[in-house]
């Protein structure tokens, strides 16, 4: 059984919905939990610590240990205070769950720069700020488990969510880099892509389907992603009891001789370029460069390495 006895987790946006579910499930398995929530609306308006305090009460009533903190994840000083307070109370921060988020949905033609920037600030910059606040602490302790929260809106796209989709795909890129940088310190970074009925999905999903989409079914995946034996660099899609891995592949592509490196020849060969046979999941950005260099070197008879 996966347990977290002696571990401490910060869960952002944990006053309601998925964050609350994550916090409760971690606490049930022995984790000390910092319940972070600004207490704003789904649109990012207002602030109140009451939601976070209620979750703390639920945890403590069941014999668990928790504390509430109302840090705004976009404010580095407030996040730093949260981390320092957590370390003072529990001794360390072992786990960070970047869950806090807001929505400002509109078609791109109607979306303002303010709405775009605010969503990116909360989801992407907020996750960066929280991760930055625990990163050196985790490096010093040679242990860390970090979960980003992405979305199918970022991985695949969804009408009216250009701001949300951009931020959510940005988190996949952040995970990819941090997993490489944190590997030797046993900092494992993964991403959750959830489907659940929360305040953010009200009005978007038929009522008959809502009872299948429990936050707890998503939290089961999240808890695994931050466990002792967590995977690395995994995008875990979870919802309604379904679990899958989302992956980004690159096709083998083609090599075009110097005289054929023109837009016209690219168009002529586009079917071969996009053919999926032999596609690979690359482990870092250099993989693409080395692949293309190998093609060119083979053509010119140049030895690499």
Contact (CB, 8 A) for 100 and 19: yes
* Residues taking part in catalysis: 164
Chain-centroid distance, C-alpha 137: 20
Contacts of 43 (CB under 8 A, 6+ apart): 102, 103, 104
Contacts of 162 (CB under 8 A, 6+ apart): 108, 111, 116
Burial class (CB in 10 A: 0-12, 13-18, 19+), 282: middle
203 backbone φψ class: left, alpha, beta (φ>0; ψ -120 to 50): left
Task: Tell me the C-alpha distance between 122 and 115, whole Å.
Answer: 11
Angle (CA) 141 144 146, round 5°: 155
């Amino acid at each position: 059984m996966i347990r977290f006895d002696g571990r401490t987790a910060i869960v952002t946006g944990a006053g309601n919905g998925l964050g609350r579910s994550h916090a409760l499930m971690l606490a049930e398995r022995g984790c000390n939990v910092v319940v972070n929530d600004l207490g704003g609306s789904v649109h990012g308006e207002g602030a109140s610590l009451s939601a976070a305090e209620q979750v703390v009460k639920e945890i403590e009533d069941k014999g668990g240990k928790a504390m509430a903190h109302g840090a705004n994840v976009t404010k580095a000083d407030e996040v730093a205070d949260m981390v320092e307070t957590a370390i003072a109370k529990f001794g360390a921060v072992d786990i960070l769950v970047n869950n806090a988020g807001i929505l400002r949905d509109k078609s791109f033609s109607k979306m303002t720069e303010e709405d775009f920037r605010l969503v990116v600030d909360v989801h992407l910059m907020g996750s960066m700020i929280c991760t930055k606040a625990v990163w050196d602490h985790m490096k010093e302790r040679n242990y860390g488990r970090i979960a980003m929260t992405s979305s199918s809106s970022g991985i695949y796209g969804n009408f009216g969510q250009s701001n949300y989709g951009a931020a959510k795909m940005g988190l996949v890129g952040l995970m990819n880099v941090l997993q490489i940088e944190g590997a030797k310190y046993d900092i494992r970074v993964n991403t959750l892509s959830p489907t659940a009925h929360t305040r953010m999905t009200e009005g978007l999903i038929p009522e008959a389907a809502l009872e299948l989409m429990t936050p707890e079914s998503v939290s089961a995946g999240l808890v695994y992603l931050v466990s002792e034996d967590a995977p690395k660099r995994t995008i875990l899609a979870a919802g309604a009891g379904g679990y899958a891995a989302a992956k980004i592949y690159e096709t083998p592509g083609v090599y075009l001789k110097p005289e054929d490196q023109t837009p016209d020849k690219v168009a002529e060969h586009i079917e071969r370029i996009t053919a999926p046979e032999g596609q690979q999941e690359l482990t870092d950005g250099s993989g693409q460069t080395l692949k293309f260099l190998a093609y060119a070197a083979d053509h010119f008879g140049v030895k690499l390495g």
